[in-house]
Amino acid sequence: MKNCLSFLLSCLVYTSQAQVSSILPSPVTYVQSEGSFQINQALTVNPSEINSSLFTQLKELGTIYHQLRIEPNVQNAMLQFKKLENVKQDSYSINVAERITISYSSDASCYYAMTSLMQLMKRNENGLYTPKCFVKDFPNFQWRGLHLDVARHFFTVEEIKRFIDLMSYYKFNTFHWHLTDDQGWRIEIKKYPKLTEMGAWRDSTVDNHYTTVPRTYTKARYGGFYTQEQIKDVVAYAEAKYVTIVPEIEMPGHARAALAAYPEYSCTGKAQGVEGLWGIFDDIFCSKPASIQFLKDILDEVIPLFPGQYIHIGGDEAPKTRWHSCPKCQDIMKENHLKDEHELQSYFIRQMDAYVTAKGKKIIGWDEILEGGLSPNAAVMSWRGFDGGLEAAKQGHYVVMTPGSHCYFDHYQGKGKDEPLAIGGYTSLEKVFTFNPIPPDLGPEVSSYILGGQANIWTEYIPAFSKVEYMAYPRAIALSEALWCANKPTYDVFLSVLVQDHFPQLDQWKVNYSKSALKASVKTIRTNTGIELKSTEQSIENGKIKETSISFPFTRSKKKTKTETVTIHPEDESIRQTIQITNHLALGANVRFVTEPSPKYNGGDIVLVDGQFGARPWKGHEWIGFDTNVIVLEIDLGKVMKIHEIKVSFLQDENSWIHAPNQIVIESILPKRSDGIGMKEGPSIDGYAPNSEIWNLPYKGKTRTIRITISGEPEIPNGLPSEGNIPWIFIDEIQIN
């Protein structure tokens, strides 16, 4: 009997703990009790219980969330505040009973409690109310960041403030402001006025995706910058919302805008304009003393503007070509016994580190600053995966994890071709949600150096602020969940709270967020007669996720190639998807990989014969990728067919180390007898066309099995990214007519 009772009790406890609040990021503890606390049109507060800045923020939050008035009441306030001592950093609790009590450990945590309280409030016929409940909450990671690149495209002070507003509502505390790059210098430096007079403006900007051939440009002056007064204003604005700004001044690479204004600080001294193309450029700051002094002078003006402890000095993607042929750089290497240009970069960074440290600040840089030895005081932002960050943490440096796989919000967030242009890659809402800055099995002595995580928003393909919001939201909310919650709910629970409670809020704020996470997932399934598209979508009904599927069958074409379009949700642009199916003789045919594709880019052999050509710019999943230079595969048409053409499509993207092949050999295998027993060779062809993306190979005759041998370059030629390594080969699709 006793056992039974304890079982019953534990069930009850379980149901009360499993309650879900409308707060995002999800709080550590939420327990709802019977009844609600009615607020109606105004919430009364005793202003003397909190400082005036917090009182101002509370009034602002009330207005922004609910048009709620905050009114002073010294004697009998509805909302009371209690400061706690000796509790976990930034922890708070909210108790809603006969009145509302916020207990908090720091001003920031009081602000977090106020945002949570606003998110708890709902509306009934009398006005606002909140369910009676208890919330206990604290952050899991201390660095919860968003980055914004204002160099590739410029955003106004008002837009930056809105960006900070939205961050602060989701308990982010770090804004990484990427202020300088090849395409624009965005911060006023009084000692060097040409940085903004010339460096803030470019004459042209590349159109479309930069891999598009032929490249075209819009020839119009583009740019902008922030004065030091504007920077101070933004810094103070962010500080009031408990957001620290980390400014980034890129060095030694991504320096073309600065060098357009002051070419004397490059290795060659050659005058060049501010760059209008995206990518990595050879001209970087020279390592000579005059260039180092120039950057120190700039830091002298940057440091006093930003009260936070970190200054970001970039350090990524700095080609060593110029340093290699520069007599001044080579002399410095000799004098300092540096064995190569990587050590010269390390020497360069160490000088900046010492300078920044002497001014009472710390440097942080992209993980390339690890190459050639890292200066002792430096922190690392790990962007090329987790490994750089792990290595730095093992060496005792603080680390912020921003791996491309989970944290690059310039990637696509939906698989469909209807997504607005992005740089490439695919980082879904769910992928961001699963992010953990600490990889599994990492011991506490190393993981204690991991400060947290951050998403990066590079803006090559984000010309307008509304698109910044589209790329950032709702993925930023999933990231805040990943960084704030020590025990995240399931993705389904998160998604239902997001859609039910937060999408309407974002609508009210007119945030241009993406609904791609609600778009149907479309799978191609092989059938006996061709393929079938199976579209499965999730919707939220009564707080639960409901799944529905529809199928679209396609029968393999016997004669002519034709293209058909499937449109899913033609009525709603935000979740619409259009899929084009090019029907051909091999649609849904069996494919045998004699050479195995890389597991990173292998969505299954059906991808090659699903009637859908790989997207450009590529996302990844829609291409089959090989990290070898000879590929063999076979396609079995199921029976002998008369064919006249084989069309194979490849990807050419040198910056991603993907090269189209040079040669394709097609062999055919015919059954000797009608029952398929015994094989003989059929006609074969041999094509040669270096780096061609689309191959149309004319073929005369009958065949059943086609063997395709694809040969790429043995290694990436000198002067191209990743030179000397084996290039990737990406294929999709193989169309047989």
Which positions are catalytic?
181, 254, 317
The single-letter code of the amino acid at 291 is S
Q: Check: CB of residue 338 under 8 Å from CB of residue 347.
A: yes
CB 151 → Zn ion: shortest distance, Å? Answer: 23
Quote the tokens at residue 296.
């120190």
Closer residue to Zn ion, CB minimum distance, 267 or 498: 267
Residue whose tokens read 């009398």: 126
The single-letter code of the amino acid at 353 is D
Closer residue to Zn ion, CB minimum distance, 314 or 603: 314
Quote the tokens at residue 65.
């969330």
List, as one string, the DSSP characters of 327-395.
HHHHHHHHHTT--SHHHHHHHHHHHHHHHHHHTT-EEEEEGGGGTT---TT-EEEE-SSSHHHHHHHHT
Residue whose tokens read 């990492």: 442
Q: Check: CB of residue 471 under 8 Å from CB of residue 409.
A: yes
CB 291 → Zn ion: shortest distance, Å? Answer: 8
- Three-class DSSP category at 547: strand
**CB within 8 A of 208, min separation 6: which ones?**
216, 421
Binding residues for Zn ion (CB under 5 A): 267, 286, 326, 328-329
CB 328 → Zn ion: shortest distance, Å? Answer: 5
Quote the tokens at residue 707.
């063997």
DSSP-assigned beta bridge partners for residue 587: none
- Please tell me the distance from the alpha carbon of residue 707 to that of residue 703, in angstroms, as a whole number: 11
- Please tell me the distance from the alpha carbon of residue 38 to that of residue 457, in angstroms, as a whole number: 41
Phi-psi map region of 518: left, alpha, beta (phi>0 left; psi -120 to 50 alpha): alpha
List, as one string, the DSSP characters of 76-105.
S-SEEEEE-SSS-TT-EEEEESSSEEEEES
- Three-class DSSP category at 294: helix
In degrees and rounded to multiples of 5, residue 437 shows phi and psi of -60, -25
Residue whose tokens read 């010294």: 74
CB 316 → Zn ion: shortest distance, Å? Answer: 19
| Strands 379-382 and 362-366, sheet pairing | parallel
**CB within 8 A of 536, min separation 6: which ones?**
520, 521, 522, 523, 547, 548, 549
CB 263 → Zn ion: shortest distance, Å? Answer: 12
Residue whose tokens read 């061609």: 692
- Please tell me the distance from the alpha carbon of residue 414 to that of residue 514, in angstroms, as a whole number: 9
CB count in 10 Å sphere of residue 83: 14
Percent of residues in the chain assigned helix, strand, coil, to nearest 5 = 30, 30, 40
Closer residue to Zn ion, CB minimum distance, 281 or 409: 281
CB 323 → Zn ion: shortest distance, Å? Answer: 6
Closer residue to Zn ion, CB minimum distance, 72 or 269: 269
Residue (of 195, 187, 170) closest to 235 by Cα position: 187
- Please tell me the distance from the alpha carbon of residue 53 to that of residue 637, in angstroms, as a whole number: 72
- Please tell me the distance from the alpha carbon of residue 233 to that of residue 237, in angstroms, as a whole number: 6
CB 281 → Zn ion: shortest distance, Å? Answer: 15
Q: Check: CB of residue 579 under 8 Å from CB of residue 522.
A: yes
Closer residue to Zn ion, CB minimum distance, 120 or 284: 284
Closer residue to Zn ion, CB minimum distance, 174 or 346: 346
Closer residue to Zn ion, CB minimum distance, 103 or 287: 287
- Strands (E) in 369-474, as ranges, are 379-382, 399-401, 450-457
